[in-house]
Amino acid sequence: MNYAEKGDKAYLISIVMVAVIGGLLFGYDTAVISGAEKGLQAFFMGAKDFVYSDAIHGITSSSALIGCIIGSAISGLLASNLGRKKTLFIAGICYLLSALGSYYPEFLFFEYGKPSLDLLIAFNFYRVLGGIGVGLASAICPMYIAEIAPSNIRGTLVSWNQFAIIFGQLVVYFVNFLILGDNINPVVKAIDGVNQILNPGESIWVTETGWRLMFGSEAFPAALFSLLVLLVPETPRYLAMTGRDEKALSVLSRINGIAQAKTILADIKATAHEKTEKLFTYGWMVIFIGIMLSVFQQAVGINAVLYFAPRIFESMGMGNPMIQTVIMGIVNISFTLVAVFTVEKFGRKPLLITGSIGMGIGAFSVALCNIVSLPPIISVISIMVYSASFMFSWGPICWVLIAEIFPNTIRGAAVAIAVAFQWIFNFIVSSTFVPMYNMSVGDMGDKFGHMFAYALYGIICVIAAIFVWKLVPETKGKTLEDMSKLWKNRKNHI
């Protein structure tokens, strides 16, 4: 084959696969807490200088999300000034340092194995550092793929980044399962208002070592990603925007062939200094809808399930909760593929509305199981329905809509705002789940908290479906110019 004429598809795929590892690490880092959080809780419950409450545990379990907010907020600045490639390398280093630091937070300053408030702060620092890597990757990996890929397959290649995120979650569920092995997680229960470990002897390995290995396991893919990023090129768009036309043409030629590369480079140069407009040029509604898409994606409660899956399955009376967690990961990845292959056929709105209804049914079913005595398998199936419904709808489709819904001239600022709200509400949901889930009222005991949490998420799912039905425009088949006209017309009619 003459690559000068047709381009080198293997080269393109290899580049995209490296960027996709960044998405895999995104999923790995955000879900590793699911297997480690019970051992981590038991470890810090042994501290003598403070009380490790459910509220503190909720914040610690979701502290990486603070870094996600920071990383997403600075992603545009770093990408514009340092380039996409260097920003991805920084994300990789953040992942690596976070994995090593979370494995051994005592490094240099503290006595190994002795929990304290200062050590907790150090641990959370490393988790926030990993979150910065996630925040950077969540914005830059899709951007890198979009800018490197030919236009005719750009959507497909960008969609695989979302698949990689879910695959990363499945990988870490399986890794956590292997690390746990025959060892038993700590059983923590509030007795007279004080959390106690009911099986301290049985769970000692997990309390002392197991959670460390789970966090540390991320170091291997993080190191691989950091090394491979050094081997991929900078994106042609960034090279052209910074005056390196010859290098941009070289990269484009190897991917697309020389003739097409020259045409693409001319188009890039023509739009490199595209004019920008004020944020509310198209009215407030487009910004509001973009923000609320992000808010609903998190407020439906999915990450509370992903981060605390083993705890949830254990409370349902299942044998080894890590097995159900791995099964849920397989279900998640299968239904993400449903979205990848149907979004252009069915459209964005039908998938979002159907997913919202499915999630609502699953959430209300879990709530019902805590009111009426039903077999545990009903709760497990309900959780699976809830999770699967998210994976073919709000998981990938929200990212697609955020990329499409804004007119090109305000997209940069609008996407940054929307993504920041996404991580903020991710943190709110994740940090409030444990204390809400463990609420105990009257004769129901902690079943009230279980019921209340899922009933609340179910109600939000219903509201989300109504929101999409009434306010969100369908972007299937529309160009960015079409979106500009749509929002201008809506502004004129408001």
Segment 335-389, tens digit of pLDDT = 888 877 777 778 788 999 999 999 999 889 888 877 777 777 787 788 888 888 9
How many angstroms from the chain centroid is the CA of residue 295? 13
User: Do 215 and 287 fall within a single domain?
Assistant: no
| Cβ neighbourhood burial of 373 (10 Å; 0-12, 13-18, 19+) | exposed
Among 198, 232, 266, where does a domain finish? 232
CA distance 208 to 42: 9
Residue 396 has pLDDT above 90, yes or no: no
Residue identified by tokens 């997209």 is 411
Residue 139 has pLDDT above 60, yes or no: yes
- Minimal CA–CA distance to 16: which of 168, 229, 334? 229
CB-based contact 251:149 (threshold 8 Å)? no
Residue 1 has pLDDT above 50, yes or no: no
311 belongs to a structural domain: yes
Residue 249 has pLDDT above 80, yes or no: yes
374 belongs to a structural domain: yes
Q: Which of 98-107, 232-241, 386-395 ranks highest by mean pLDDT?
A: 98-107
pLDDT, greater one: 293 or 38: 293
CA distance 87 to 80: 9
User: Do 91 and 208 fall within a single domain?
Assistant: yes
User: Do 389 and 446 fall within a single domain?
Assistant: yes
141 belongs to a structural domain: yes
Check residue 378 and give its pLDDT.
Answer: 81
User: Do 210 and 312 fall within a single domain?
Assistant: no
Mean residue pLDDT of the chain comes to 81
CA distance 459 to 100: 40
CB-based contact 368:421 (threshold 8 Å)? no
Which residues on neighbouring strands pair with residue 441, listed in sequence order?
Answer: 445
Phi, psi of 188, rounded to the nearest 5 degrees: -105, 130
pLDDT, greater one: 193 or 419: 419
Alpha helices in 300-409 (DSSP H): 302-307, 309-315, 321-346, 348-369, 376-391, 394-405
**In which band, very low, low, confident or very high, does the pLDDT at 274 lie, cut at 50, 70 and 90?**
very low
User: Do 52 and 198 fall within a single domain?
Assistant: yes
Question: Which CATH number belongs to the domain containing residue 110 in this structure?
Answer: 1.20.1250.20
Check residue 125 and give its pLDDT.
Answer: 94
How large a percentage of the chain has pLDDT more than 90? 18
- 237-241, 335-339, 480-484: least confident range: 480-484
Q: Is the dihedral of CA 347, 348, 350, 354 positive or negative?
A: positive
CB-based contact 65:427 (threshold 8 Å)? yes
CA distance 106 to 116: 10
Check residue 451 and give its pLDDT.
Answer: 81
The domain total for the chain is: 2
Check residue 480 and give its pLDDT.
Answer: 46
Q: Which of 17-31, 63-77, 164-178, 217-231 ranks highest by mean pLDDT?
A: 217-231
Measured from the Cβ of residue 239, the count of other Cβ atoms closer than 10 Å reads 25
Average pLDDT on 139-144 reads: 80
Residue 238 has pLDDT above 70, yes or no: yes
261 belongs to a structural domain: no
Which residues on neighbouring strands pair with residue 189, listed in sequence order?
Answer: 196
End-to-end CA distance of the chain: 56
Check residue 111 and give its pLDDT.
Answer: 86
CA distance 132 to 338: 30
242 belongs to a structural domain: no
266 belongs to a structural domain: no
Q: Locate 353 and state its tokens.
A: 């509305």
pLDDT, greater one: 110 or 261: 110
Check residue 478 and give its pLDDT.
Answer: 65
Check residue 102 and give its pLDDT.
Answer: 93
User: Do 171 and 284 fall within a single domain?
Assistant: no
Among 205, 232, 259, where does a domain finish? 232
CA distance 276 to 411: 9
Check residue 306 and give its pLDDT.
Answer: 63
CB-based contact 145:74 (threshold 8 Å)? no
- 53-57, 104-108, 142-146: least confident range: 142-146
Amino acid letter for position 468: V
User: Do 214 and 288 fall within a single domain?
Assistant: no
CA distance 387 to 358: 9
CA distance 115 to 120: 7
CA distance 355 to 264: 38
pLDDT, greater one: 362 or 322: 362
Measured from the Cβ of residue 206, the count of other Cβ atoms closer than 10 Å reads 26
Residue identified by tokens 């979002």 is 352
Among 175, 206, 232, where does a domain finish? 232
- Minimal CA–CA distance to 302: which of 381, 376, 369, 383? 383
Average pLDDT on 449-470 reads: 89
CB-based contact 395:337 (threshold 8 Å)? no
User: Do 298 and 225 fall within a single domain?
Assistant: no
Q: Which helix (H) or strand (E) holds 418?
A: helix 411-437
Check residue 258 and give its pLDDT.
Answer: 79
Q: Which of 151-160, 287-296, 305-314, 345-354 ranks highest by mean pLDDT?
A: 287-296
Average pLDDT on 135-145 reads: 82
Average pLDDT on 98-120 reads: 90
Long-range contacts of 384-388 (CB under 8 A, 24+ apart): 384/327, 384/328, 384/331, 385/358, 385/361, 386/302, 386/305, 386/358, 386/359, 386/361, 386/362, 387/302, 387/305, 387/306, 387/328, 387/331, 387/332, 387/362, 388/331, 388/332, 388/334, 388/335, 388/358
pLDDT, greater one: 295 or 285: 295
User: Do 227 and 336 fall within a single domain?
Assistant: no
User: Do 347 and 446 fall within a single domain?
Assistant: yes
pLDDT, greater one: 34 or 13: 13
Q: Which of 45-49, 102-106, 143-147, 378-382 ranks highest by mean pLDDT?
A: 102-106
Check residue 412 and give its pLDDT.
Answer: 63
57 belongs to a structural domain: yes
153 belongs to a structural domain: yes
User: Do 421 and 487 fall within a single domain?
Assistant: yes
Give the DSSP per-residue string, 92-154: HHHHHHHHHHHH-TTTTTS-TT---HHHHHHHHHHHHHHHHHHHHHHHHHHHHHHHHS-GGGH
3-state secondary structure of 450: helix
Residue 288 has pLDDT above 80, yes or no: yes
CA distance 397 to 336: 10
Residue 408 has pLDDT above 80, yes or no: no
- 26-35, 259-268, 389-398, 449-458: least confident range: 259-268
How large a percentage of the chain has pLDDT more than 70? 84
- Minimal CA–CA distance to 18: which of 233, 256, 248? 233
User: Do 291 and 417 fall within a single domain?
Assistant: yes
Instruction: List pLDDT tens digits, range 193-230.
Output: 667 777 777 778 888 888 899 999 999 999 999 999 99
- Minimal CA–CA distance to 18: which of 65, 101, 84, 75? 84
Check residue 155 and give its pLDDT.
Answer: 60
- Which residues constitute the domain of residue 27? 11-232
